[in-house]
Amino acid sequence: MNDDPLTARIEELESRLMHQEAAIEELTRSLLSQEQLLTSQLQTIERLEAQLHSLADPHTLAPGEEAPPPHY
């Protein structure tokens, strides 16, 4: 390694930059993976909600629309 302090500083900065670029790339891959997982989970939830609504009795009222029980 050269004894020039400026060269040493530049080499240190280049090394840090390489590590930061690698870390950013890893974070990007992780974020993309999480986004794909979230999209898949949202699709599953929507599909399950549709199945739940199709199974619901159309004559049943929503909890807020039902009359109170007789003892009230």
Rounded (to 5) percent helix, strand, coil in the chain? 70, 0, 30
Q: In the prediction, which pLDDT does 57 show?
A: 73
Q: What's the confidence (pLDDT) of residue 44?
A: 98
Work out how many domains the chain is built from and give that number.
Answer: 1
Position 2 scores a pLDDT of 59
Range of the domain at 14: 1-52
Residue 58 lies in a domain: no
Residue 22 included in any domain: yes
Per-10-residue mean pLDDT of the chain, 72 residues long, equals 84 97 98 98 96 81 73 72
Structure tokens at 55: 């199974």
